[in-house]
Amino acid sequence: MDKIIVIDFGGQYCHLISRRIRELGVYSEILPHDCKLSILKKKNPKGIILSGGPGSVYNNRDPKLHDKFYSYVQFQNIPLLGICYGHHLIVHQLGGTIEPHNRKEYGKTILYKLEETPLLKGLHDEEVVWMSHGDQVKKLPKAFRPIAETNTCPIAAYENEEQYIYGVQFHPEVTNTPKGNIILSNFIDKIAKCKKEWRLENWIQKSIGDIQEQVGQKNRIILGLSGGVDSSVTAVLLHEAIGDRLHCIFVNNGLLRKNEEKKVQKVFKDKLGFSNFHYIDAEKLFLENLKGIEDPEEKRRIIGHTFIEIFEQKTIELEHSYPNIEFLAQGTIYPDRVETSATSKASAKIKSHHNLTLPNDMKLQIIEPLKNLYKDEVRRIGRKLGLPSIIIDRHPFPGPGLAVRCIGEITKQRLDTLREADYILMEEIKKEGLYDELWQIFCVFLPLKTVGVMGDYRTYQNICAIRAVESRDAMTASFARLDWELLERIGTRIINEVDGFNRVLYDISNKPPSTIEFE
């Protein structure tokens, strides 16, 4: 299959470039800027895109490409497109000059097209593009020519048509560049001449064949199924490939939303006919292990360990009955595996995520069928394989579940109170048709007591906080501006119907500086 490689220079949009290329029907992968040339060669790319990044090319410490990289692409006639830092790097390394500009350009700008060229075909003479740069190209290398400019940047795009090298100062991958997709499409279509073979139907067929071949006729797979999108899609895909030789282990840790365990069982056992669905009620053990624990990281650690303990125990038990369990499946997806330079440099650990990642010393072979897919691709596959919207379109739910939404010590009573309030919130939001518009919405139990009055009686109960956010990828988020009357309806219902809360607060913090979950 034809492939475009994106080389990562630490730009925050690296995954976005790769996703856009896939949306246009061509398979794309990301490689780090310091990856060995032999690895790049093995990928046999039809085109290469150099991403943006925070560096400056004349700073010795900032990443560069080896001379051999340019000899390879030129010798093989592999088209090259540089974006922002990548646009500078090509010029800098092939004999031109870059300089800091006294006016930084950030945000929307008008781009003036200077030439009819393959890269800019289909664009008008003036187009809106999105810029974010301080440096700019001053002098182009030999045989390069400018093909577009802005008011402050005379070489906003260039080409070297003979060698198939192109560069753009702006970001075609972001939606703020409305015609960005045409530019990327021109690159993969008209310049790199890629065949559009990246179709999810083909992927599903091929993946099922690969799983059947890898697992063989007799072996079995176990999978920790949480009911989240990634593990659910992994489950249906594996089930399609090997049927009941797939064993799903669903652990009820007592930290789930109301009726969650029933919903998940209904989908997998009743609707999809999974006969080896193993439900483990481990509420007691989790609550015992969490008793008296208030520290968020300690809660996360205990939950992770308890899960692994239970999972290992169940696996040993199953292995007695089915000695041919040879594989452990995981719902890892592409962004989990390929951290871009920008995210991997992130210094401080804010929260340790618990995502059912199991130890490798289980002596089982790991199988990760979704490991090259993006979330939206995973969702589309799940839909095609018959997963209902209540699984596919659900809001993200953290691995440690309600433990990180029940501040301070966790008790069954607190969790039950929280579950009831959360259930009412969901009911009202769904009734209002707002569920799909929000990234997440949930209730949080605050272990503070305040005074209220109900009828003629004084109450002294806890506080329920409501958190609703809009986001694209959870890296940043803004609080949702929900309608006052809706909030009033929700608040009134929670206070009237849930024993344990007599006050409701609405969280108006954005991320950053806050995070989405409270702990």
* Nearer residue to ligand XMP within complex by CB, 11 or 399: 399
* d(C-alpha 102, C-alpha 136), whole Å: 10
Residue 485 CB, shortest distance to ligand XMP, in Å, is 27
Question: In this structure, are residues 392 and 469 in contact, taking their beta carbons and an 8 Å threshold?
Answer: no
Cα four-point dihedral sign 383, 385, 389, 391: negative
Of 163 and 515, nearer to ligand XMP (C-beta) is 515
What letter represents residue 171's amino acid?
H
Q: What mask, x for binding ligand XMP by CB under 6 A, covers residues 453 to 482?
A: ---------------------x--------
Could you give the CA distance from residue 334 to residue 351 in angstroms, rounded to a whole number? 20
The one among 351, 371, 383, 489 contacting ligand XMP by CB under 6 A = 351
CB of 251 to ligand XMP, least distance (A): 14
Q: Return the active site residues.
A: 84, 171, 173
By beta-carbon proximity to ligand XMP, the closer residue of 152 and 252 is 252
Judged by CB under 6 A, the stretch of 112-120, 234-242, 331-339, 510-518 that binds ligand XMP is 510-518
CB of 300 to ligand XMP, least distance (A): 6
CA dihedral of 425, 431, 434, 440, whole degrees rounded to 10: 30
Check binding of 512 to ligand XMP (CB under 6 A): no
50: β partners: 7, 82
CB 197 within 8 A of CB 2: yes
What is d(CA 346, CA 341) in angstroms, rounded to the nearest whole number? 9
Q: In whole angstroms, how close is the CB of 510 to ligand XMP at the nearest point? A: 11
Q: Is 400 in the site for ligand XMP (CB under 6 A)?
A: yes
Binding of residue 354 to ligand XMP (CB under 6 A): yes
- The contact pattern for ligand XMP, residues 234-273, with x = CB under 6 A and - = no contact, is ----------------------------------------
Of the two residues 474 and 482, which places its CB atom closer to ligand XMP in the complex?
Answer: 474
Neighbouring CB atoms inside 10 A of 56's CB total 18
Residue 258 or 300: the one with the smaller Cβ distance to ligand XMP is: 300
Q: By CB under 6 A, what part of segment 357-376 binds ligand XMP? A: none
**Between residues 97 and 514, which has the closer beta carbon with respect to ligand XMP?**
514
Q: Where are the alpha helices (DSSP H) in 222-351?
A: 229-242, 260-265, 283-290, 296-321, 334-337, 341-344
Query: DSSP assignment, residue 394?
Result: P
Cβ of residue 307: shortest distance to ligand XMP, in angstroms? 11
Sign of the torsion formed by the C-alpha atoms of 471, 476, 478 and 479: positive
Does residue 398 touch ligand XMP according to CB under 6 A? Answer: yes
The amino acid occupying position 170 is F
Distance CA 88, CA 52 (A): 9
Q: Which is nearer to ligand XMP, 350 or 453 (CB)?
A: 350
Residues 500, 415 contacting (CB under 8 angstroms)? no
Least separation in angstroms between CB 224 and ligand XMP: 12
Which residues does residue 506 pair with via DSSP β-bridges, in sequence order? 466
Instruction: Return the residue matching tokens 């150099």.
Output: 50
Q: Which stretch binds ligand XMP (CB under 6 A): 184-192, 243-251, 328-336, 509-517?
A: 509-517
Nearest to ligand XMP of 159, 517 (CB atom)? 517
Footprint on residues 423-452 left by ligand XMP (CB under 6 A): 440
Q: Does 355 bind ligand XMP (CB under 6 A)?
A: yes
Q: Smallest distance, Å, CB 86 to ligand XMP?
A: 29
Answer yes or no whether residue 331 interacts with ligand XMP by CB under 6 A. Answer: no
**How many residues in the chain?**
519
Q: Which residues contact 368 (CB under 8 A, 6 or more apart)?
A: 234, 329, 330, 331, 332
CA angle 184, 185, 191 (to 5 degrees): 90
Spell out the residues 6+ positions from residue 173 whose beta carbon is closer than 8 angstroms to its own.
13, 16, 17, 20, 83, 180, 184
Q: Which stretch binds ligand XMP (CB under 6 A): 58-66, 90-98, 275-283, 511-519?
A: 511-519
DSSP element (H, E) containing 249: strand 246-252
Binding residues for ligand XMP, per CB under 6 A? 350-351, 353-355, 396, 398-400, 440, 474, 511, 515-517
